[in-house]
Chains A and B, each alone.
Chain A
Amino acid sequence: MDNNKHIPLRTIESTPALGNLDRICDMEEGRLSGKVFWDQAIYEQELEKIFARCWLFVAHESQLPKFGDYLTTSMGEDEVLVVRQKDASLKVFLNACPHRGNKVCFAEAGNARGFICNYHGWSFGADGGRLMGMHESKCYEESHFDKSKHGLREARVATYKGLVFATFAADAPSLEEYLGPMTWYLDVMLDMDEGGSEFLGGCIRSTIECNWKIAAENFVGDILHGGWTHDSAAKAMLGGPVANVGELPESYSVNWNGHGYEFATDVVGNAATLGERDINKYLHVLRPKVAERLGEFRSKLIGAISSFTVFPNFSFLPGQNTVRIWQPRGPHKIELFTWVIVNKNAPQDIKDKWRRGAMMTFSPTGVFEMDDGENWEYCTKTAKGVVTRYQDLYVGLGMHTRLDDSELPGNVFKGQLNECNARAFYQRWKDLLQAPTWADVPDRNGKLR
């Protein structure tokens, strides 16, 4: 049952697009201005036209095995509840009571048959989110209140191989269309092994005073920073510098609708940074089976030097197996939610090694992440100066390197040291901010440089 059908929602007109977007974000020329990281008006538009519109990652199915299992997260700044239903499907509700708007669930995870608002006792079934009753229910009856017409507002939900996405936009394309050919690459992480993937227990949360786009862009296609920013971490974990990415024999950047993946074909380049020989061994032993499953080419990517962002704010690193969302909290702040993803059928000691390895590398105590956070905060904060804010930032690396004859899916570019994915990301960002509806969002695939 869809609660939204029972509760007719008055639609809100899309606010007009901001002027000057073409001046501050020109991806034909590969120029961007820091204003996009600082401006409150831009941020409000992002919440409306990106976060309330796009398919956003909310959970992995393995986090909610049983009926009544729930977790709370947010879609942009909208707080939501993800709940496993009696029929084994998943529903996503606004975590806000339709009476006065108070939050109905304060725990981050658990199991419940229902949710009761602390304010006036409105109670909602975990199964379907319908209004079941409330404090002093008799007085509502006297005002001809029909409780069957009330419930928690529902989002559209769709899954891809364990990943659960949701959107509040009725006119959004299907998740399949939204992800497009990028699913071929997502399978490297999600489907390399029979049994698929799962999240290990728990989520680590932290806050970084940076704009969400800087973090998302870093994972969409910036391995360029790796060798420089992360030199200290690589020396600590590997006893030597980061692999010289520019000299790897075969690497690519691919993108589609603002999603992006940059990758080498070196099998274990990312995984090696965990400094756990058993993980490298596990991947090498698994690789022939992956080749049977996904083909020889993709079997070379399972732990390779690579990073992935699904537009707008869901990212992961194969090999380190860290999965994260960059939750926007105003233009100058994010909440970072991180999880560890592993193959469900991996041995327990390998899972534990990945859990610790992700902690050691990419977490608030991770030796790699420490240097990232520092950079991202100051890419944001410098834009508080008006002169700095309008300085042209260069995003032109790899112009004219598209491989038009590649057999790989998506928009394929030569090499990982390439800002084509960042350009595609910011182009998609601008297109969404300028489009009044989903139908107005232009198709840039095949046309980006």
Chain B
Amino acid sequence: MTLEQSLSFEEVRRVEQFLLREARLLDDECWDDWLLTLSEAIHYWMPGIENRRREDKAGPYTLEHMAFFDDGIRELQRRVSRFKQPSAWAENPPTRNVHLVSNIEVHAGDQEGEYRAYSCFINVRSRGLDEQSQITGRREDVLRVEADGLKLLKRKILIPNAMLLCKNINTFL
């Protein structure tokens, strides 16, 4: 399928709405609803970025290298189940999140019923009285129409940082 096969306005709108709703579900800690936006076959991937020279063929990241997320549905469910434990001491009082999503571009996917979406995000988290951390990056998603609606099948998250400038990522991006 080529890019000339342009999508209808409705299709583009549907994917945009999906991404915006997802951001709101995360901000509102609607973890179970968020899990339902994911395909059972999801690959949710955020590789670690290496600070290498331009001519270095190794490149800034690979599938084999360490990652922040390299998850299937089981891993994502486990992460959510920690958030939901009353003994997740570091989440009480809660971390307050804002997920901003922009620069959304939607294309037809490689398979029938799939979309490829590019987007940028800013995640701002605050904890306690005065803690704030911000992560910004780009995402490449594959979404798929499944029996019960549109689902996220693949996500690649790239941040510009070779070192995370905060202590953790206690959210999804």
Contacts and interface: CB of A to CB of B under 8 A. Distances in A.
A246 interface: no
A229 to B, nearest CB: 7
Contact of B81 (A106, A236, A338, A339): A236
A108 B85 CA distance: 38
Interface in B70-111: 70-71, 75, 78-79, 81-82, 85-90
B50 A108 contact: yes
A371 B66 contact: no
Nearest to A367: B82
Interface string A101-130: 000001111110000000000000000000
A205 B164 contact: yes
Interface string B111-136: 00000000000000000000000000
A29 interface: no
Given A108-B52, A205-B164, A367-B78, A236 B66 contact: no
A360 B66 CA distance: 11
B2 interface: no
Contacts of B86: 232
A406 B130 CA distance: 50
Contact of A232 (B52, B68, B85, B163): B85
Nearest to B82: A236
Interface string B127-167: 00000000000000000000000000000000000111111
Nearest to B52: A107
Given A207-B163, A229-B89, A110 B53 contact: yes
Nearest to A355: B66
Interface stretch (A174-182, A184-192, A195-203, A252-260): A195-203
B139 to A, nearest CB: 16
A14 interface: no
Category for how many chain A residues contact B: 35 or more
Contact of A235 (B50, B51, B87): B87
B56 interface: yes
A294 interface: no
Interface stretch (B9-17, B22-30, B33-41, B57-65): B57-65
Contacts of B68: 204, 359, 363-365
Nearest to B169: A365
A232 B89 contact: yes
A48 interface: no
A26 interface: no
B69 interface: yes
A275 interface: yes
A231 B85 contact: yes
A371 B89 contact: yes
A358 B65 CA distance: 12
Contacts of A2: none
A240 to B, nearest CB: 12
A245 B145 CA distance: 48
A369 B90 CA distance: 10
A339 B164 CA distance: 15
Contact of A373 (B81, B163, B167): B167
A39 interface: no
A235 B169 contact: no
A356 interface: yes
Contacts of A340: 66
Given A108-B50, A108-B51, A364 B66 contact: no
A232 B78 CA distance: 10
B74 to A, nearest CB: 8
A203 B162 CA distance: 9
A109 B50 contact: yes
A208 interface: yes
Contacts of B164: 204-207, 364
Contact of A110 (B58, B70, B78, B166): B58
Interface string A201-242: 111111111000000000000000000010111011100000
Given A108-B162, A205-B164, A370-B90, A356 B52 contact: no
Given A107-B51, A235-B82, A367-B79, 4 more contacts: A201-B64, A204-B66, A232-B86, A355-B70
Interface of A: 106-111, 200-209, 229, 231-233, 235-237, 275, 335, 338-340, 355-356, 358-360, 363-365, 367, 369-371, 373-375, 377
7 A-B pairs with the lowest CB-CB distances in the bound complex, closest first: A202-B65, A232-B85, A236-B82, A374-B90, A205-B163, A232-B88, A373-B167
Interface of B: 46, 48, 50-53, 56, 58, 62, 64-71, 75, 78-79, 81-82, 85-90, 162-170
28 contacts: A107-B52, A200-B65, A201-B64, A202-B50, A202-B62, A203-B48, A204-B48, A207-B167, A229-B89, A232-B82, A232-B86, A233-B82, A235-B87, A236-B78, A236-B81, A359-B67, A359-B68, A360-B75, A360-B78, A363-B68, A364-B68, A364-B164, A364-B167, A365-B168, A367-B78, A371-B90, A373-B167, A373-B168
